[in-house]
Amino acid sequence: MILLTAPPILLYLLSFTLLYSIVLGENDRPIIGIITQEVSDEEFLQYGKTYIPDSYVKFLESSGSRVVPIRLNLSEKEYVHLFQSINGVLLPGGAVDLLESSFAQTVGIFYRLAIEAASTGGYFPIWGTCMGFQILTAVTSGENLLCKTSANNISLPLILADDISSSKMFCHAPSELLRAASQENITGNFHHFGITPQTFQANKKLSAFYRILSTNHDQDGVEFVSTIEAWDYPIYAVQWHPEVNRFQWRSDLTYPHSANAIWISQYMANFFVSEARKNANHFSNPKEEDSSLIYNWPLTYTANISGYEQVYFFD
């Protein structure tokens, strides 16, 4: 029995052990792809045309995964090869067109391949954060259903669904972590648009594909969906940013850094990487694998011009 009075670090270690025990004997060298996105800030243009913030890379690495950048505007054949070589995909936050951008088109390919793989028993997990959440709703529904939600630079507790314990994402979460998530400001929000529960449930494509795990209210009282998971596929998304809790530090931004904020960030990373461990894809040879990893690209210090400490730039 896990006592509610146990210190958070003990509860974290127990939850970490539990998550990993359920995939014992499976892929212990997972590699997860992160899709790059177009540069929209002028300050970044001097470094490259597309980028990945290092906080997403560290988020995955902290739970035992390596990372491959998925660059934009490759051929579908190249994307299929990448899909067959990696064990999952993370869609980061940012700002691109949800339907027409190269980022959205690339997401659509991996989304389709994941669904097709599932039809033959494959298991390919996808994770979306903030913009990644929004694009997954657009890819599934075929339209942009967002409305204005003023939740930029604010940390909030989650309003958890009543049946949260039956979810794949939180079924192994210690009760003390769920209490902290629902009562403390440990989820960082940095978005101007979101999707309301009413719009979400009214769209049959969305409500049939995903279940709502949590909602929140923005600074004007508008309710928005903040955490979802697919009913029948390993596809998960959060409107909030678990990666910032441990890896972003700009003092004028509300990145939560409390012990429980660190705990939920690590829990979410552990969960998604544990999902990737269930996938057995691999590169055809060690040389190709090594040349594909993000270690081949340098990091650029960007804390002086952005909220990111460091960024990988491409193209």
Active site residue 257: no
Task: Mark whether 191 is an active-site residue.
Answer: no
Count of beta carbons in the 10 Å neighbourhood of residue 269: 22
Of residues 81, 130, 147, 191, which has the active-site annotation?
130
Instruction: Return the residue matching tokens 């997401």.
Output: 107
Half-sphere exposure of 86 (CA within 13 A, CB side): 30
* Beta carbons within 8 Å of 290's beta carbon, 6+ residues apart: none
How many residues are present in the chain?
A: 315
Structure tokens at 8: 């958070």
Sequence-distant (6+) residues with CB within 8 A of 284 are 85
- 82: amino acid identity, one letter: L
Can you list the positions of beta strands (E) in 55-156? 66-70, 89-91, 126-129, 147-156
Catalytic residue among 171, 241, 257, 282: 241
Cβ-based burial of 159 (10 A; exposed 0-12, middle 13-18, buried ≥19): middle
Residues marked active site are found at 130, 241
